[in-house]
Chain A
Amino acid sequence: MSNQALLELEEVTVRYGGVVALDSVSLGLGEGEIVALMGPNGAGKSTVLKAVFGLAPVVSGTISWRQAVLDVAAHQVVKLGVAFVPQGRRVFTQLTITENLEMGCLYLKDKEEKKRRLHETMELFPVLYEKRQEKASAMSGGEQQMLAIGRGLMADPKALLLDEPTLGLAPIIVKEMLEKIVEIKEKRNTSILVVEHNIRSILDVASRVYVLDKGRVAHDGSPDSVQQSDILTKVFLGAVE
């Protein structure tokens, strides 16, 4: 861990019936970091994020938030300051952009604060401002992904968990998305744990990288250490035993 850990998983094991999705995984996200989570399909990347939100069956190990054990239900985690943007741009297509964004902090009673966050989010993603009255179904894939991230930011999180934010996007949009992620970190001092497939681009922006394979942490270190080792080739070509 670089500096003070915000979010920490210690020897977390997740089992779906007979399938062991995570096998004693330990990892951490420090203050002001962008941590990348990589690995082939089915490695357990999404499961890590879900486990934090109590959405995966954790059978052993502990997850802590600011040094305190986190064992609350999904709907309470967000109030602690963690936002989760699940895989697959799950925006509410029948609601407008603004309504979608407001979903991110409906529990918030303070109208002024809500307005401030809306303003801040739209400033970060101008396209959300332009289309604020339109339904989410009228947006492109990249725009929907920005909406999904924006909706997460409406919770004003200290840590943001992003599951494959660039999946299925054109290269130019991927670049823009990663720039946005860096911007979020810089401007808001939000720590970001991001599952990412685009190896080259994510290694440029990440502070640290975890490589998962078959539910285990196969490598953990700086982007350089990942690039210098042959871990990615091994993992992605399925040669790791």
Chain B
Amino acid sequence: MLEKPVAESPWWRSLSNPRLLGTRLSSNVELLINFIVVVATIVFILSQGSGFGIRIAQLFAIFAILAVSLNLVIGYTGLLSLAHVAFFGVGAYSVAILTTDAAYEQVPGHIPHFGLSFFTALFVGMAITGVVALFVGGVLSRFRDDIFVLVSVGFAVISHRIFLFWQPVTRGPFGIHAIAKPEVGGMVIDSRLEFLFLTLAFLVIVFLISWLIVRSSFGRVLMAIREDEQAIEVFGYKARYFKLTIWVISAMMAALAGGITASEQTFIDPQSFVLLESILLVTIVILGGLGTLWGSLLGALVFVLLNEGMRFVPFLPGELIGQARLAILGIVIVLLMLFRPQGLVGRFKL
């Protein structure tokens, strides 16, 4: 039996006893980290005005959808995928292309017009991504461990190349402009705040679905696969089907984030879907903690704050910020792996 003397004394007693306070804090690292991050965020954002707050929240919501969905694959199932950006991109391009309409086309005549509404395009885009993911996953299921990682990198690179060179459809390096806005019951969602609410609503849905998945017996099989794939087969499960299923679900969630982003930014080009984005996503998942959905939310928040907050570092010249951001993120990752390899609130190491 575990002894829990700390839990029995009232919390305020620990304030006068440094040793007790220490135990209490370290046993509640999760809570403490959450608390600090959230308070710091609120203070910081309030000091910057509402426009900035909305921007941060929007970025957070998108990264959170991506991180939560990626965690299902990396953290719960143990598949270290760097291909997530590809599905994010397919979702974004699907919405961009499927909503194209001659009426607001800025560079007319280059790509076909489908004229679907945002939501229809979003769901069709997710379905398309699902099919693509099924194919990619089928190929990937032949590999494991380091080769799996390499092949997933291959898919991330290939998708970027397709966005770049399949000009008749994606308009290549010019990108696609004037992407349609969502319409709900005749009301166009175009203010940033409205968009934020829409995105947060989707985040809630993605989070709930993910939560239900990891809580279900299906989720338990995924965790078992992460630990020992062969052992699972002798209990009567085909690990491959489970892996493919979660892979496709996760990809469709990424596509959702992509579709929203395309519409929110009204413009996309291949530069937003490079391998580096995938690496950042994996970093967020590890930063938050493998196999914890809350951790992914926290990881996304910390990442967005670090990333956006760096604009405010006083002594950095503007043109260096972009470079410095990545360098600092790199340093954060190294420190994290050294001192907290299980992530901020996570339980497992990679």
* Residues of chain A whose beta carbon lies under 8 Å from any beta carbon of chain B: 53, 55, 73-79, 83-84, 86, 90, 92-95, 99, 102-107, 151, 155
Contact = CB atoms under 8 A, between A and B. Distances in A.
A75 B238 contact: yes
B234 A103 contact: no
A136 B236 CA distance: 21
5 contacts: A55-B230, A73-B233, A90-B228, A92-B231, A94-B227
Contacts of A84: 234
Interface in B221-245: 221, 223-224, 227-228, 230-238
Given A92-B224, A95-B223, A106 B217 contact: yes
B348 A104 contact: no
A104 B235 contact: yes
A92 B235 CA distance: 13
Contacts, number: 65
Contacts of A102: 217, 220
B235 A151 contact: yes
Given A75-B236, A78-B234, A103-B235, 11 more contacts: A73-B233, A73-B238, A78-B236, A86-B230, A92-B231, A94-B227, A95-B220, A95-B224, A106-B236, A107-B236, A151-B235
A93 B227 contact: yes
Interface of B: 217, 220-221, 223-224, 227-228, 230-238, 291, 347-348
Given A75-B238, A93-B227, A103 B233 contact: no
A106 B347 contact: no
Contact of A155 (B220, B232, B236): B236
Nearest to B347: A94
Contacts of A73: 233, 238
A49 to B, nearest CB: 10
Given A55-B230, A86-B230, A90-B228, A106 B223 contact: no
A153 to B, nearest CB: 12
Contacts of A76: 236
A77 B236 CA distance: 7
Given A94-B347, A103-B224, A106-B221, A78 B235 contact: yes
A94 B228 contact: no
A2 to B, nearest CB: 26
Nearest to A79: B236
A123 B173 CA distance: 67
A92 B237 contact: no
Contacts of A95: 220, 223-224
A17 to B, nearest CB: 18
Contacts of A86: 230-231, 234
Contacts of B221: 103, 106
A23 to B, nearest CB: 24
A53 B220 contact: no
